[in-house]
Amino acid sequence: MSGKYYKEFIKGVFKENPTFVLLLGLCPTLGVTSSAINGVAMGLATLIVLIVSNVLVSMIRRFIPDKIRIPAYVMLIATLVTVVDMVMHAYVYEIYKVLGLFIPLIVVNCIILGRAEAFAAKNGVVASFFDGLGIGTGFTISLTVLGMVREILGAGKLFGINFMEILVGADKWQPALIMILPPGAFITLGFLMAGINYIKEKKHKEVK
Amino acid sequence: MGRIFHYAFVLTLIAVISAGILAYADKKTAEPIENITKKLENSARKELFPDAEKFVEKEKKIISKIEYVPAYNKSGEKIGFVAKGSENGYGGAILFMVGIGMDGKITGLKIIDAKETPGLGDKIFLESWQKKWIGRDSKYEFNKKEDAFAGATISPTAVYSGIKKALKNMPVEKKEKLNIETSSITKESIDKKIAEKESYKFGNASYFDISNNNGVIGFFIKSEAKGYNGKIVFEMEVDKAGKINTLKITENSETAGKVDEKELEKWQKNWVGRDVNYKFDETNDAIAGATVTTKAVADEVKNILTKYEEIRKKRGWE
């Protein structure tokens, strides 16, 4: 991996993390992260679609007139997601069972259109691939972290394992239900962003 | 102007290609998806009805929006239904499947889809809660202490009313309830053959020829009488001399529990050997508590036998 492509990849994970920095695609972020496994699943499904859509958009970017690029991308992405949904349903049902719920949600995820517009329409195919990979990975990590925090606090579990009960005993542990309801998503996201910004600022000062 | 046409052309081209790809993908995946859906439904049904071997989709019946698919055991006997229905809960429709045995008891419950509040109403997905319903029937009353969750009563109540509807509308034919087989008369002797089409029909009564290798030996007659609650369907065999060979009630909608099966069997046997000259005797022939019903059957039998005498004349059997 040459330095340029590595940069495209790594910026999506940290500097331009879609959830914590760009605040893109918040709808699925807040909606599905009630458990860690949901976060992983949604993240991975988005990652795959993002890579393919980035590559396709980059490939046809010279043929699409500027003024109609948005409807063209939307059509492309919607077709892509629908085909992915059908193919997975038909041939890899085990994976579809976990991801199936999230795939239609990807169509409305603005990360996909956002990256098509902001990156793939202006860059080459390989660079777009790494941009999709990076942003998708960043999205997956963010969703997983969100899901983990919410699952621990809201259900006392992690990846479905009832570890809080084992740790402190069932009678002493009362999960905070709000954490797996929508408000819990906002609270968790807010605290995580505050934490990340605090670390960033501290680093910034140190550099100075 | 030229530019506008160019835009329209590009967009149309993308739309056409997209539509083509979608149509192709849909065509290719339709069959595997259908197979998977069927397989899943069958395995879900099996979970609800462990005793069942086969579910016959073709015999599906839909009664007040509930789908009933009959379940059969290894020997091909119908042992119940798997019903699929939906009921509105707190967050929308709750889709459920319930297995019901022939005795009207629940053999299993599964919530397929629901959007109830996470952590509260969605506890209806818990296996431990679903298992509680096994063995209950339509007489079961919802018990808030036992069946509801703290803070969530609407969701479990919705499931309960859905199940209740499914149990009440179960498409069981009455003869299945009574467990009397229609063909039992003919089963007794194998060489007898009943004509496929009736030879005579008077009122409710249909007369079918019975023959063996030597020709016609009598008649099989199927008819119905109006009882206290509705119709009673019965079958009888009468020989050439006009004497009753067998009589059997195959379907009845009379007050359950009033007549027990043993008594009914004894009553049916009493009719063997009687002919048109027999007079109904209330003290001997009425079943206690079901006089109206027994009298109705006796009257119809008398009618049938009277008409039968005409047939005997026509056929020269006198």
Q: How confident is the model at residue B284 (pLDDT cuts 50, 70, 90)?
A: confident
Q: How confident is the model at residue B16 (pLDDT cuts 50, 70, 90)?
A: very high
Q: Is the ipTM of this complex over 0.85?
A: no
**Contacts of residue B30, Cβ cutoff 8 Å, sequence gap at least 6:** none
pLDDT at B19 over 90: yes
Tell me the C-alpha distance between B1 and B5, whole Å. Answer: 7
Tell me the C-alpha distance between A177 and B118, whole Å. Answer: 8
Using CB atoms, which residue from B14, B118, B120 is nearest to A75?
B14
With beta carbons under 8 A apart, name residues in chain B contacting A83. Answer: 21-22, 25
Mean pLDDT of B250-270: 72
In this prediction, the residues of chain A whose per-residue pLDDT falls under 70 are: 1-2, 98, 169-171, 208
Q: What is the pLDDT of residues B96-154, one digit of tens each?
A: 888 888 888 888 888 887 777 777 787 888 888 888 888 888 778 888 777 888 778 88
Burial degree of A46 (CB within 10 A; 0-12, 13-18, 19+): buried
> Are A110 and A25 a contacting pair, CB within 8 Å?
yes
Using CB atoms, which residue from B14, B25, B117 is nearest to A83?
B25
Mean pLDDT of B45-70: 81
- Of chain B residues 23-52, which have a CB less than 8 A from chain A? 25-26, 28-29, 32-33, 36
Tell me if A82 and B6 make a contact (CB, 8 A cut-off): no
Written as six digits, the tokens of B178 are: 């009574």
pLDDT at B257 over 70: no
Distances (CA, A) of A192 to A145, B236, B313: 9, 83, 100
E strand or H helix at B193, and its extent? Answer: strand B193-194
Higher per-residue pLDDT: B216 or B28: B28
Tell me the C-alpha distance between A43 and A39, whole Å. Answer: 6
SS3 call for B259: coil
pTM higher than 0.90:
no
- Of chain B residues 99-118, which have a CB less than 8 A from chain A? 117-118
> Are B7 and A72 a contacting pair, CB within 8 Å?
no
Tell me the C-alpha distance between A87 and B103, whole Å. Answer: 43
Instruction: Count each helix (H run) and each strand (E run) in chain A, helices first.
Output: 10, 0
pLDDT at B191 over 50: yes
Tell me the C-alpha distance between B71 and B80, whole Å. Answer: 5
Nearest alpha carbon to residue B192 among B171, B218, B172: B218
* pLDDT, position B24: 94
Q: How confident is the model at residue B186 (pLDDT cuts 50, 70, 90)?
A: very low
Residue A180's closest chain B neighbor by CA?
B118
Alpha carbon of residue B92 to chain centroid: 30
Tell me the C-alpha distance between A144 and A182, whole Å. Answer: 16
Tell me if B14 and A34 make a contact (CB, 8 A cut-off): no
Which phi-psi region, left, alpha or beta, contains residue A203 (left: φ > 0; alpha: ψ -120 to 50)? alpha
> Are B244 and B273 a contacting pair, CB within 8 Å?
yes
**Contacts of residue B143, Cβ cutoff 8 Å, sequence gap at least 6:** none
Report the percent of chain B where pLDDT is more than 90. 5
Mean pLDDT of B189-216: 76
> Are B308 and B276 a contacting pair, CB within 8 Å?
yes
E strand or H helix at A70, and its extent? Answer: helix A69-91
Distances (CA, A) of A46 to A23, A143, B9: 15, 11, 31
Written as six digits, the tokens of B254 are: 């009379």
Tell me if A91 and B32 make a contact (CB, 8 A cut-off): yes
pLDDT at B266 over 90: no
* pLDDT, position B2: 80
* pLDDT, position B256: 58
Q: What is the DSSP letter of B24?
A: H
Residue B12's closest chain A neighbor by CA?
A72
Using CB atoms, which residue from B11, B14, B25 is nearest to A86?
B25
The radius of gyration of chain B's CA atoms, rounded to the nearest angstrom, is 29
pLDDT at B188 over 50: no
Tell me if B29 and A86 make a contact (CB, 8 A cut-off): yes
* pLDDT, position B12: 93
With beta carbons under 8 A apart, name residues in chain A contacting B152. Answer: none
* pLDDT, position B180: 33
Tell me the C-alpha distance between B69 and A91, whole Å. Answer: 27
Tell me if A72 and B10 make a contact (CB, 8 A cut-off): yes
